[in-house]
Amino acid sequence: MSVLPPLPQISKELRDVVPPDLELAFGTDSVRLMISVEPGARVNALLPPVIEGTDGRRFLLRAPTVTEDSAYFVERASVTVPRSALPIRGTLRTSFCRSDERLCRSAEREVLLEDR
């Protein structure tokens, strides 16, 4: 008899991970960058998404409301930047948890955000 708890079972049918993406909403003189994750996934508020530009600029995405434990954003994290800041070339770094997982995973992807 073991005193250690049993290890969790890994599903035999692992789903593909859908990495977070960005949606852009263009205004007259600004653009709103919003994080987009698969339905049911939660974005980590303790390690918020950030775009690290190749030119040294950093754009931190935030949301005004977090869960009771302050761990996740309730609303979509976003940042508004002036259109004159475009183009932005860099890396989007996000920590998120899928609905069927208890641990967050980190994701990074290259982005190129251009004016339309």
Quick one: average pLDDT of 73-79?
96
The verdict on residue 91 lying in a domain is yes
pLDDT at 53: 98
Q: Say how many domains are in the chain.
A: 1
Give the tens place of pLDDT for each residue, 3-26.
Answer: 777 766 655 555 677 889 999 999
pLDDT digits (tens, 9 = 90+) for 28-71: 999 999 999 988 899 999 999 999 999 999 999 999 999 999 99
Measured in degrees and rounded to the nearest 5, phi and psi for residue 105 equal -120, 155
Q: What is the pLDDT of residue 13?
A: 56
Q: Which two tokens stand for residue 64?
A: 């005004």
Mean pLDDT of the chain: 90
Q: Is residue 105 part of a domain?
A: yes
User: What does the alpha-carbon distance between residue 105 and residue 98 come to, in Å, rounded to a whole number?
Assistant: 8
Would 15 be classed as within a structural domain? no
First to last CA, the chain: 65
DSSP 3-state of 109: strand
For position 10, what pLDDT does the model report?
A: 58
Could you tell me how far CA 21 lies from the centroid of its own chain?
7
Instruction: Classify residue 43: in a domain, yes or no.
Output: yes
54 lies in a domain? yes
- In this structure, is residue 7 part of a structural domain? no
Full residue range of the structural domain in which residue 73 is found: 21-113
In a domain, 70, yes or no: yes
